[in-house]
Amino acid sequence: MKGFTLLEILISIAILGILIGIVFPFLISFLETSKTVEAGQRQRVLTVATEFYFIDMGFFPPDVNRGWDPGFVRPLPWNADEEAGEPPPGGFASPGTNCNHCPTNWETLVQERWKGPYIPEWPRFTPWKGKYDYNYWGSGAIRFGCNVPPGIYAGVQGDYYNNNKISGSSENKMIVNGFDHDGCLNGESQMLLWSLEN
C-alpha cells in the first residue's frame, strides 16, 4: 500500500502556504486597485452629468445628503435606496437640499428645463459599499481638518452609519492618481466634478 508520509504532507502544506502568502497580497492589491478605477470612472460620468445639467439649467444641482441623487436621474432630488425598499435612516431620510447658489424658483425652473436623465441610474453604493454624496461647496469646505477647495464634488463616503469607508491603501491610490481632492487619509474621498475657484 502506497501513501504519503507525514513529512511529504507537511512539505506540501508548507509549499501551499508560501504560495498563498505570495499570491494573496497581490490579489488584495488588485481588488483595491479595481475599486479605485471604478471610483475614477464614476467621477468622469458624474462630471459629464454635472456639465449637461448646468447647460440645461444655467445653475448646478443642489447640495444633497449622502445617498441622494441631486437631479441627474430625475428632475428633483430622490433616493434610490428608498425606491429599492431600503429607506435611509433618520438624518438621511430627506434630501437635505441646500440650493443657496440656485435661483429662488429653482424647483420650477428644473421642472421646465430638465432634459435628463443625465446618467442612467444613481449609484446606490460606492465600490466599498458606502454612499456617494453630491456636494456643492462654493466657498470650499473643511472635512476632518482638511481644506477642500471651492467646487462641486462627489463624496465617496461610508454608508449611512459611516461604516464601509474607503480603505487607507485605496484612498492613498486615489490621492496619488488625483481623484481625492481633500488630500487626506480620512476614510472618504472628495472627487472634484467642477472647480469653482477663480
Per-residue model confidence as pLDDT tens for the chain (198 residues): 677 788 888 888 888 888 777 776 666 666 777 888 888 888 899 999 999 999 999 999 999 999 999 999 999 999 989 888 888 888 888 888 788 899 999 999 999 999 999 999 999 999 999 999 999 998 888 888 888 899 999 999 999 999 999 988 889 988 988 888 888 888 899 999 999 987
Query: What pLDDT score was predicted for residue 7?
Result: 81
Query: What pLDDT score was predicted for residue 73?
Result: 96
Beta-carbon neighbour count of residue 137 at 10 Å?
A: 18
What cell was used for 88? 435611509
Helix 6-57 to helix 168-176 angle, to the nearest 10 degrees?
A: 50
Cβ-contact 58, 106 below 8 angstroms: no
147 Cα distance to chain centroid: 19
List the chain domain ranges. 36-195
Instruction: Enter the pTM of the model.
Output: 0.81
Residue 115 burial (10 A CB sphere; 0-12, 13-18, 19+): exposed
Query: What pLDDT score was predicted for residue 30?
Result: 64
Rounded Cα gap, residues 138 and 112, in angstroms: 25
